[in-house]
Structure 1
Amino acid sequence: MKEMMELTSLEMVERFVDEHELSFLYVSQTDCSVCHALLPKIRTLLEEYPVIQLGRIDIQDVESIAEKYMIFTAPIMLLIIEQKEYVRVDRFVRFNELNRKLDQIYELYTQSM
């Protein structure tokens, strides 16, 4: 399973995004069963992309994340490349579609490295 960093403040989130060219933010809530069910699947999916770094944020601990990234529901997943949002997926994840998007972006990004 993909290694994951727990981000417990907005400053940690900003530093995480600044330090990693490819950041995948998983924003969840403690009392959300969908959030808990999706996380292991996301971690397994992201194993295919070693350059993408995974950070998890509990929106109840870091409420300011909602304003910064305009988050209205949980879970939400954001792929951020060089501080810009490229992919946003919420609540109902179509894994085939997410995998296809990640493949395309990852291939283009890693070719330019």
Structure 2
Amino acid sequence: MRKVNELTTLKMVEEFLENHELSFLYVSTPECSTCHAILPKLRELLDHYPLIHLGHIDACKVEEVAGKFLILTAPIMLFMIDQKEYLREDRYVRFDRLKEKLEQIYEMYTR
């Protein structure tokens, strides 16, 4: 299963994005049961995309992340290429659609 990088400060988030061309940020809160259910599914999905690095942010510990990425709810998933957002999914994720979108972007990028 995909390794998760725990990002505990906004500086760590920014460095993570700078150091990885393909980044997937997963923002959650500790009391969110949906957040806990989605993360294992996301890790499993990302196993198919070896160039994508996964970072996890606890929005309660890194409160500034909400303002930086315009986050209004948790969980939120952001797929970034060269620090630019290409895909955003929130609370009610349909993994079949997420996989299709991710596949299209990943294929175009890796050609």
Please tell me the TM-score bracket, short chain as reference.
over 0.9
Deviation of 1:50 (Å): 0.3
Matched residue, 2:33: 33
2:84 is the counterpart of 1:84: yes
Alignment of 1:1-113 (within 5 A): 1-111=1-111
Unaligned stretches of 5+ residues in structure 2: none
Q: Per-residue CA shift, 1:18-75, capped at 9, x if unaligned?
A: 0000000000000000000000000000000000000000000000000000000000
2:78 is paired with a residue whose SS is strand
Unaligned stretches of 5+ residues in structure 1: none
Q: C-alpha separation between the residues in 2 aligned to 1:107 and 1:50?
A: 12
Stretches (4+) displaced over 3 A: none
1:65 is paired with a residue whose SS is helix
Q: C-alpha separation between the residues in 2 aligned to 1:35 and 1:95?
A: 14
Q: C-alpha separation between the residues in 2 aligned to 1:50 and 1:29?
A: 26
The sequence identity of aligned pairs, in percent, is 60
Q: C-alpha separation between the residues in 2 aligned to 1:97 and 1:17?
A: 24
Alignment RMSD: 0.4
Q: C-alpha separation between the residues in 2 aligned to 1:110 and 1:10?
A: 28
Aligned residues between the structures: 111
Q: Per-residue CA shift, 1:56-97, capped at 9, x if unaligned?
A: 000000000000000000000000000100000000001111
Q: C-alpha separation between the residues in 1 aligned to 2:95 and 2:60?
A: 26
Q: C-alpha separation between the residues in 1 aligned to 2:26 and 2:53?
A: 11
TM-score, normalised relative to structure 2:
0.99
